[in-house]
Chains A and B, each alone.
Chain A
Amino acid sequence: KAGVTQTPRYLIKTRGQQVTLSCSPISGHRSVSWYQQTPGQGLQFLFEYFSETQRNKGNFPGRFSGRQFSNSRSEMNVSTLELGDSALYLCASSLALRGETQYFGPGTRLLVL
């Protein structure tokens, strides 16, 4: 099976712009989670989707949003970008909502100038 794929892999934006990142889970996986990784804060949970519904959300401002489509693919959007949004954004998929291994994609590295 193909692994989790994320596009784009690298992105450069300027402050105030918005960005959309995409994640395709492993075939058959219905749960998709998003994480932000920065040197200062480490890996932090953004949100999680299952069957097109957001099931859990981390402590991030409303500028961060996401959605999941009927084919389980997911997108996350960050509006009004700030310098501090520069990070590696990781997507993970799993078979079920709980208790299963989460498989991570290679990430999208976002640089905000």
Chain B
Amino acid sequence: SQQGEEDPQALSIQEGENATMNCSYKTSINNLQWYRQNSGRGLVHLILIRSNEREKHSGRLRVTLDTSKKSSSLLITASRAADTASYFCATELQGAQKLVFGQGTRLTINP
């Protein structure tokens, strides 16, 4: 089964609103990474948060990590139409370099 599970599977909001996506995982990790994918194209890296970090910011993005709950969240503030995409969390497992991806959240920003 997938290491990462994302919630919700789909999210539709109005432009200007904030969007929050959640990711839960099962085993210990080295880090957790968030990616964006537009229409089946390549993945664009957004943020990497290490297991000893609790929060990171990048522009309008805020990522939190709670290792006790094995969960992470991605907050996009002041959403724009260009934020419409699928968002994936990926965990780098301890002892392995590979990334294990969740199924993703499909975010739609309505103008």
Contacts and interface: CB of A to CB of B under 8 A. Distances in A.
Given A98-B30, A99-B50, A88 B40 contact: yes
A102 B42 CA distance: 12
Sorting the interface of chain A by its residue count into under 10, 10 to 19, 20 to 34 or 35 or more gives 20 to 34
Contacts, number: 61
A98 B30 CA distance: 8
A98 B89 CA distance: 17
Interface residues of B, number: 25
B98 A104 contact: no
Given A42-B103, A99-B31, A99-B92, A33 B97 contact: yes
Dominant SS among interface residues on chain A: strand
A15 interface: no
A103 B99 CA distance: 12
What 7 pairs across the A-B complex have the smallest Cβ distances?
A: A43-B101, A104-B43, A106-B42, A45-B98, A104-B42, A98-B97, A42-B103
Interface of A: 4, 31, 33, 35, 37, 42-45, 48, 50, 55-56, 58, 88, 90, 92, 97-107, 109
